[in-house]
Amino acid sequence: MKWSPKDQAIVSKYNLKDKFVCSYVGTIGMACGLDIVINAAEKLKYQSNSKITFLLVGDGARRHELEELAKKKKLDNVIFTGRFPKEDVPGILSVSDVNLIHLIKKELFKSVLPSKIFEAAAMKNPIIIGVQGYAADFVSTIEAGICIEPENTDELLDALEKISSNKELSEQMGQKGYENVTRYYTRGILAKKYLGIINQ
């Protein structure tokens, strides 16, 4: 894979060369349920799987707690980067092999559609979606990734195994997600739809 010099700097800084990178980009808060990443990383460590690395990009109420837990468990396959400027996020996405989108299992979140879906799909990245309801249905319909039960570590690991071991599947999901969001969900297209609703 060819990266820009800026992207290559990210790879070098976080030692991502020859790694399969699963990124979570966003708020590391109470609702995100990112304990699933710590649990998955720990299982991978004991399976002696050194290829998969989790990159947690962002900040929030639980970042310090989760970072300390990762240190306590000596998990060198979980990297906390802290906040990145918005303009640098495409660089993070470009060095990612898959994007994790996850929220805790609550009825409230069955009606949400995280914007992270569109960012990942626009970069042709496959998605692991751990959000029940509308978001899971959306990702499944456009065939952009794999749906897992929120907070289910084993399902996350299974999804990672499927994507990391099957390059063709990964590329198909990335391409289908990209084609769908660029055809139906760009700002220009949505603005025209909105204008049509207003005119009616």
pLDDT at 54: 98
Confidence of residue 78 (pLDDT cuts 50, 70, 90): very high
Residue 144 has pLDDT above 70, yes or no: yes
Q: What is the CATH number of the domain that holds 115?
A: 3.40.50.2000
Confidence of residue 2 (pLDDT cuts 50, 70, 90): low
Residue-averaged pLDDT of the chain = 94
| Mean pLDDT, residues 166-192 taken together | 94
Q: Residue 102 in 3-state DSSP?
A: strand
- Give the model confidence (pLDDT) of 16-60 as tens digits: 999 999 999 999 999 999 999 999 999 999 887 789 999 999 999
The backbone region for 147, taken as left when phi is positive above 0, alpha when psi lies in -120 to 50, beta otherwise, is beta
Q: Return the exposure string of 43-65: e unless at least 16 CB atoms fall within 10 Å of the residue's CB, then b.
A: ebbeeebeebbbbbbbbbebbee
| Mean pLDDT, residues 166-186 taken together | 95
pLDDT at 172: 97
Range of the domain at 55: 5-199
pLDDT at 49: 76
pLDDT at 86: 87
Confidence of residue 7 (pLDDT cuts 50, 70, 90): confident
Q: How many domains, the chain? A: 1
β-pair partners for 61? none
Residue 166 has pLDDT above 80, yes or no: yes
The backbone region for 136, taken as left when phi is positive above 0, alpha when psi lies in -120 to 50, beta otherwise, is alpha
| Mean pLDDT, residues 140-164 taken together | 97
- Give the model confidence (pLDDT) of 96-131 as tens digits: 999 999 999 999 999 999 999 999 999 999 999 999
**d(C-alpha 59, C-alpha 92), whole Å:** 15
